[in-house]
């Protein structure tokens, strides 16, 4: 049984323990859970496990190579005996201590490890909140085990034991445990590790044994007079799983780029977290950390959104379990497609919970991802469901937006009708192209859809306001048509394809001109979407008329759906975005008008969000 399958089998146990912890919290009137935070933490755990399908090859592959060719002592019989297993577990825990400690003392390692600390809650769901990039450098700390001749099987097994042990220590419902606290990592000891109070910061790194911290001077006992405050000193303020993994890396890249001294560009990554070159700190100052002024990030959620998030989360969990169960036997390309699909769903759920998009837009993204994946993987019956369903959802999103008549919306009634007409034409084209022998009707349907888009993009702006963009798109279209002609475009299709290429070039030019006139994020999303339409159609034509492309359906459909999603999102974006009052907000746009709410700050309630 593979480690992935063991994780799947252990998942019900995790959730049972979470349920018990939640029940104890209700009984004690000490609730440590919030729905969006728990979903975010577990979602990051899912992402960590699904991405590990690919990064585990790096970690185990390097370990196995060192073991096979450089091991200083080979005695598999000893390591497979009971004393050998115990020694290997002790050895692993020792290496883990140093990896964990360096993860707090070196900025580039902290960038990976910070994900685990970002939650402002401390409960068993926090234990599942894991990084997706830790394996990129973390493997180095376990090379001594390979050199000592610990077989890969023993290494992976004790690594799993060490990881599973650490689950139960993430709770506030278990108090001090007397002698156990002196020897082992316990809930009390690990609460200290997650706290950002000055007195607790960067302490108690042990995985199973806390003895390492006592030996190397990093131990700190929990003090009943100093309540632990959890989080990181650099505010995340997001439920986005991608941003959670990228936040610290982005900050380091920013400081490294702007540092004038070349050595400082390197030191940014190596120095302890929070270190900044003097010139960068002067140009881009950050407020000093004040634990008393750190609000709890808690965007409000409507009851409908809570139910939506719960159902979506359950379905996503099932999808992740199915993916992990078969991942070791599946081809790498298939795993990559399903990983991308799950990632799109996770991002959409996080964005909906945060209030950045509406529930309808989240469903649109998820359906588009599933339509693409089912086509690529040959799941024809499911593809026949999700391909038309995606455009039906898009039409429903726009219709719902028009009915809500949100003030300040960038989409009026007339524009909405043209957008719906364009989506309906796309729906017809999708259906026609699902069946052989209907290429011409499909081409005509998409041609009409693009004409509707041109009329839509003309509303309120001049024709082709950016002449350079018009010339560029026409030149690209002419080049593409010449490529198709020379590649063997059938004579009967030369006229229809020429008309199609001209219309889509004009559509892209009009979208770009519109963006230059109107400005704003929404208009540029539409322009980028039109560009993806050109890319999708070029890929489709190349694959059909010139040369079959590897994974053609992936490139054709992914770019097609990116185009549709961006155009719908851009057209529904507010005409004059207003700054959100949310903590760290960037202007919330409820893109589908379906119950999402803007983020809001909540006064401190004993929580804090510390560490740079």
| 18-51 residue pLDDT tens | 999 999 999 999 999 999 999 999 999 999 999 9
Residue 428 scores a pLDDT above 70? yes
Residue 590, domain member (yes or no): no
pLDDT digits (tens, 9 = 90+) for 52-72: 999 887 888 899 999 999 999
Share of residues in the chain with pLDDT > 70 (%): 93
Query: Which of 171, 206, 227 marks a domain boundary?
Result: 171
User: Are residues 271 and 350 located together in one domain of the fold?
Assistant: no
Answer whether 170's CB lies under 8 Å from 187's CB. yes
Burial 593-612 (b: 16+ CB within 10 A, else e): bbbbbbbbbeeeeebbbbbb
At 435 the pLDDT is 86
Residue 235 confidence class, pLDDT cut points 50, 70, 90 = confident
Residue 502 scores a pLDDT above 60? yes
User: Are residues 475 and 399 located together in one domain of the fold?
Assistant: yes
User: Are residues 430 and 372 located together in one domain of the fold?
Assistant: yes
At 95 the pLDDT is 98
Residue 210, domain member (yes or no): no
Residue 416, domain member (yes or no): yes
At 586 the pLDDT is 34
Query: Which of 153, 171, 189 marks a domain boundary?
Result: 171
pLDDT digits (tens, 9 = 90+) for 443-478: 899 999 999 999 999 988 999 999 999 999 999 999
At 438 the pLDDT is 87
User: Are residues 562 and 431 located together in one domain of the fold?
Assistant: yes
Range in 138-147, 456-465, 504-513 the model is least confident about: 456-465
Query: Average pLDDT of 152-175?
Result: 95
User: Are residues 276 and 336 located together in one domain of the fold?
Assistant: no
At 2 the pLDDT is 81
Which range in 100-109, 326-335, 482-491, 497-506 is most confidently predicted, on average pLDDT? 100-109
Of 440, 546, 540, which is closest to residue 488 (Cα–Cα)?
A: 546
Residue 126 scores a pLDDT above 60? yes
Query: Average pLDDT of 105-125?
Result: 97
Residue 585, domain member (yes or no): no
Q: Which structural domain, as residue segments, surrounds residue 56?
A: 3-171
d(CA 559, CA 536): 5
User: Are residues 403 and 485 located together in one domain of the fold?
Assistant: yes
User: Are residues 49 and 141 located together in one domain of the fold?
Assistant: yes
At 283 the pLDDT is 95
pLDDT higher at 287 or 338: 338
Burial 484-516 (b: 16+ CB within 10 A, else e): beeeebeeebeeebbebbbbbbbbbbbbbbbbe
Residue 114, domain member (yes or no): yes
At 173 the pLDDT is 96
User: Are residues 386 and 482 located together in one domain of the fold?
Assistant: yes
Residue 376 scores a pLDDT above 90? yes
Q: Which residues have CB under 8 Å from 385's CB, separation 6+?
A: none
Q: How far is CA 253 from CA 132, 202, 248, 269, 447, in A?
A: 18, 23, 9, 8, 44
Residue 72, domain member (yes or no): yes
User: Are residues 556 and 457 located together in one domain of the fold?
Assistant: yes
User: Are residues 24 and 80 located together in one domain of the fold?
Assistant: yes
Residue 214 scores a pLDDT above 90? yes
Answer whether 506's CB lies under 8 Å from 454's CB. yes
Range in 148-162, 166-180, 571-585 the model is least confident about: 571-585
Residue 412, domain member (yes or no): yes
Q: How far is CA 435 from CA 56, 189, 430, 440, 462, in A?
A: 41, 62, 9, 11, 39
Query: Average pLDDT of 241-260?
Result: 96
Residue 500 scores a pLDDT above 70? yes
Of 140, 137, 121, which is closest to residue 129 (Cα–Cα)?
A: 121
Query: Which of 171, 196, 214 marks a domain boundary?
Result: 171
User: Are residues 391 and 531 located together in one domain of the fold?
Assistant: yes
**Angle at the Cα of 337 (from 504 to 238), degrees rounded to 5?**
85
Q: How far is CA 608 from CA 190, 329, 602, in A?
A: 17, 44, 11
User: Are residues 143 and 59 located together in one domain of the fold?
Assistant: yes
Residue with tokens 């339409």: 533
At 4 the pLDDT is 86
Q: How many domains does the chain have?
A: 3
Average model confidence (pLDDT) across the chain: 90
Residue 201, domain member (yes or no): no
Query: Average pLDDT of 324-339?
Result: 94
């Amino acid at each position: 049984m593979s480690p992935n399958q063991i994780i799947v089998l252990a998942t019900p146990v995790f959730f049972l323990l979470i349920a018990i912890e939640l029940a104890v919290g209700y009984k004690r009137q000490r609730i440590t859970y919030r729905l969006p935070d728990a979903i975010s933490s577990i979602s990051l755990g899912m992402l960590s496990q699904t991405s590990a399908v690919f990064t585990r090859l790096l970690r185990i592959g390097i370990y196995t190579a060192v073991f096979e060719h450089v091991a200083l002592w080979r005695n598999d019989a000893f390591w497979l005996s009971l004393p050998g297993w115990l020694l290997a577990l002790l050895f692993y825990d020792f290496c883990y201590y140093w990896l964990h400690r360096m993860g707090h003392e070196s900025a580039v390692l902290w960038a990976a490890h910070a994900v685990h600390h970002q939650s402002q809650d401390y409960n068993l769901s926090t234990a599942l909140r894991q990084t997706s990039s830790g394996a990129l450098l973390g493997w180095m700390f376990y090379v001594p085990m390979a050199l000592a001749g610990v077989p890969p099987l023993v290494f992976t097994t004790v690594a799993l034991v060490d990881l599973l042990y650490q689950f139960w220590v993430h709770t506030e419902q278990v108090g001090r445990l007397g002698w156990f606290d002196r020897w082992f990592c316990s809930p009390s000891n690990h609460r200290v590790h997650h706290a950002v109070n000055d007195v607790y910061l960067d302490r108690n790194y042990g995985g199973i044994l806390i003895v390492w911290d006592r030996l190397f001077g990093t131990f700190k006992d929990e003090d009943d007079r100093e309540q632990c405050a959890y989080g990181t000193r650099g505010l995340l303020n997001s439920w986005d799983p991608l941003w959670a993994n990228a936040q610290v890396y982005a900050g380091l890249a920013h400081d490294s780029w702007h540092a004038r001294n070349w050595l400082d560009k390197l030191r940014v990554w190596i120095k302890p977290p929070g270190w900044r070159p003097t010139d960068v700190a002067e140009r881009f100052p950050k407020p000093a950390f004040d634990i008393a002024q750190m609000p709890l990030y808690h965007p409000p959620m409507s009851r409908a959104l809570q139910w939506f998030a719960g159902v979506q989360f359950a379905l996503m969990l099932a999808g992740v379990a199915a993916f992990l169960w078969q991942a070791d036997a599946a081809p790498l390309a298939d795993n990559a497609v399903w990983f991308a699909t799950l990632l799109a769903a996770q991002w959409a759920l996080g964005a909906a919970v945060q209030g950045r998009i509406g529930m309808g837009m989240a469903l649109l993204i998820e359906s588009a991802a599933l339509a693409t994946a089912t086509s690529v993987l040959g799941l024809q019956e499911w593809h026949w469901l999700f391909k038309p369903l995606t455009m039906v959802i898009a039409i429903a999103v726009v219709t719902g937006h028009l009915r809500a008549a949100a003030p300040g919306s960038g989409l009026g009634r007339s524009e909405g009708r043209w957008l719906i007409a364009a989506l309906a034409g796309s729906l017809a084209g999708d259906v026609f192209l699902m069946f052989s022998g209907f290429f011409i009707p499909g081409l005509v349907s998409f041609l009409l859809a693009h004409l509707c888009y041109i009329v839509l993009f003309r509303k309120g702006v001049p024709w082709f306001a950016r002449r350079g963009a018009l010339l560029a798109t026409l030149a690209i279209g002419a080049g593409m048509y010449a490529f198709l002609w020379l590649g063997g475009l059938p004579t009967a299709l030369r006229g229809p394809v020429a008309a199609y290429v001209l219309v889509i070039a004009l559509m892209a030019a009009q979208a770009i001109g519109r963006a230059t006139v109107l400005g704003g994020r929404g208009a540029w999303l539409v322009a980028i979407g039109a560009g993806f339409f050109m890319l999708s159609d070029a890929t489709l034509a190349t694959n059909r008329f010139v040369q079959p492309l590897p994974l053609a359906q992936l490139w054709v459909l992914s770019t097609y759906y990116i185009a549709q999603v961006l155009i719908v999102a851009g057209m529904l974006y507010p005409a004059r975005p207003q700054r959100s009052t949310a903590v760290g907000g960037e202007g919330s746009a409820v893109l589908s008008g379906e119950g999402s709410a803007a983020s809001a700050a909540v006064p401190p309630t004993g929580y804090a969000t510390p560490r740079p």
